[in-house]
Structure 1
Amino acid sequence: MTHVPPPRLALLGGGFSTEEDGLLDDWLLSHARTPRPRICFLPTASGDAPTYVERFRAAFRTRPSCTPSVLPLFQRDLDDEALRAFLLAQDVVYVGGGNTANLLAVWRVHGVDRILREAYDRGTLLCGISAGANCWAEASHTDSFGPLTSLPDGLGLLAGSVCPHYDSEPGRRPSYRSAVRSGALPAGWALDDGTGALFTDGRLTETVTRVPGAQVYRVEGDGGVRERALPCRLLAPAPEAGP
């Protein structure tokens, strides 16, 4: 009988699109269910931007430890059956940044939201940065509509809310704290750039950072706002092989 790992997803504060050291990407691949995982990039939130797709291909095609692919939806080639089979065959689904609200709308039109839920239950590691982190939660803090605002919408695979770019974009931190304090957003997780958070069956099981001092936070309301920094393991480059 084939072993099915528990449902897992990862929120990323960086990766191939913002960094060149590959530390967060290596950490991500280390949690895949197979030694040579099939990893599929969904660039939907950026409108399948060609430069974003090429950055993904450049970052992963030279890695002997994975088999990369890309799923475009704005020029879709696969029928419903082939689309489902393709996504369910992936070990990792990596969602790029962009517009969270548009991402969710396009996925629902194509039925990708339902397939990703099925893949999650079957052990595919779901992950992403920015909009690609927001989408997995019940709600998120987003600039999808211009100014920063609350989006009480998401796939709901992770309870609560998510706020990316917590330390790098002006207004993110006070705006998210205010939204949680007022109840506009449920309690949730905020990520500094350069960090990663792994959730197993809905529970936080690991936090890492490639930047000393960058952190993942738990932010809760209930009459006020409480922000708790979580310890993050500092990622380090693998030692170079000897001669």
Structure 2
Amino acid sequence: MKGIFAGSGNAGMSSPYVAAAVISLTRRLPEDLSLLYIGTASYDIAEARHMQTGAFASMGVAIRSLDVANKSVPREAMAEAVDGADIILVSGGNTLYAVDRWEKLGLGNLLRRASLDGKVMTGGSAGAICWFDGGHSDSMDPESHRLFKLKKIKCRNDAADARSGMGGKGGPKSSLFDEGARSDEETEPETDTDSDEDSKDSDSDSSTSDWEYIRVSGLGILPGLICPHHDRVQSNGVLRSTDFRSMMKRHSYEVGIGIDHFAALEINGAEFRVLSLPGRTGSVDVEDGGGCKVPGVWIYYVDGDGIVHSIVCPRSGKVSDLLQTLKYPSKHFVEDKRVKLCRKANPPLMD
């Protein structure tokens, strides 16, 4: 495995700083690289793709997308797209929908194989959770569901058409998201659910705020239970780090990794390092920093007495010291019973 770059928010994942870090894992020049964008978690909406691939494109990386959220694609075509990529970038969005969709189509196994073939796997939020055993997900948020998102985009497009006098016959198209939190610090459009933003949409119905975080399964390429947007509050009003601590009690055999909104965890072979987006705040105290906090990564574990511990992850180290592989994971992983309710509320595409 060449590398996995797991971030949190779209604001970070779309920055030149992050793009340069991801490209460096390939040890090749940007103009020699091909990036495959998989936007299943954000239902293949164009604006999310443009936002998250723009920095790579500006550096000369060739961009291609694989759209499977709303249609089936032959396995041969998916295999060709995955095999031809040097970097695979997964969008933020609804993690449960994305992983379910990939497993149904056979794309999950293609991505697992790609990680063994030396591809660089990257993404923020849902695009971070998916590479690991599982994650702390906002997939139950009604505003992260497929029909809600597609309807919202249609309404925006219709409004844009009306303003431009096109009457629904054309005009500018717009969209936004990923799985999670909208930050008051951000000026970017809303684009992340396992998401990316931390306050409610101004046009959101208050009834949509009554939802809970759930543990969802990823592809299991690496061990670990990932919590993106670790330092953020989303539309249900619950700080993710607080809820993650409760989740760890229910999943006590797993090692938890909390990634702040403007932080990322880079896995480079046997080594890891933590990156923080410059100029952003997070949850990690700065030594002699006068109360300043920077984005970082936290390690969670449950001791034999059932007490949850959390420590700041070192800025670099050995992956073997960070992640612990269970000998018999199927005996220890506990399925979140609310996953079935979530699938019912956000039904898979019937094809």
From 224, 231, 239, the equivalent of 2:307 is: 224
SS at match of 1:138: strand
Q: Name the residue aligned to 1:215.
A: 296
CA distance in 1, matches of 2:241, 2:117: 35
Change (3 A) 1:57 1:197: closer
From 177, 181, 186, the equivalent of 2:249 is: 181
Change (3 A) 1:151 1:228: same
Note the C-alpha offset of 1:143.
Answer: 1.1
RMSD (Å), alpha carbons: 2.3
Note the C-alpha offset of 1:97.
Answer: 0.7
How many percent of aligned residue pairs carry the same amino acid? 24
Task: Write 1 or 2 for the structure with the bigger share of strand.
Answer: 1
SS at match of 1:190: strand
SS at match of 2:217: coil
SS at match of 1:162: strand
Q: How many aligned residue pairs are there?
A: 225
From 191, 195, 200, the equivalent of 2:259 is: 191
From 31, 38, 45, the equivalent of 2:34 is: 38
Note the C-alpha offset of 1:19.
Answer: 6.9
Residues 30-70 of structure 1 show CA distances to partners (whole Å, capped at 9, x for unaligned) of 11253232111111001111211222353332222x21211
Note the C-alpha offset of 1:168.
Answer: 1.7
Change (3 A) 1:209 1:92: same
Q: Is the 8 A contact 2:14 2:54 kept in 1?
A: no
Q: Name the residue aligned to 1:10.
A: 5
CA distance in 2, matches of 1:26, 1:230: 23
Q: Name the residue aligned to 1:72.
A: 67
1:116-135 residue pairs with structure 2 within 5 A? 116-135=111-130
TM-score, with structure 1 as normaliser = 0.83
TM-score, with structure 2 as normaliser = 0.59
Q: Is it true that 1:141 corresponds to 2:208 in the alignment?
A: no
SS at match of 2:47: helix
Residues 112-163 of structure 1 show CA distances to partners (whole Å, capped at 9, x for unaligned) of 1010011100000111111111111112111112333332522111112000
Note the C-alpha offset of 1:7.
Answer: 4.2
Read off the aligned partner of 1:161 and give its amino acid letter: L
SS at match of 2:92: coil
Change (3 A) 1:71 1:208: same
Change (3 A) 1:21 1:139: closer
Q: Is the 8 A contact 2:89 2:127 kept in 1?
A: yes
Note the C-alpha offset of 1:21.
Answer: 4.4
Q: Is the 8 A contact 1:10 1:127 kept in 2?
A: yes
Runs of 4+ in structure 1 displaced over 6 angstroms? none
Q: Is the 8 A contact 2:38 2:66 kept in 1?
A: yes
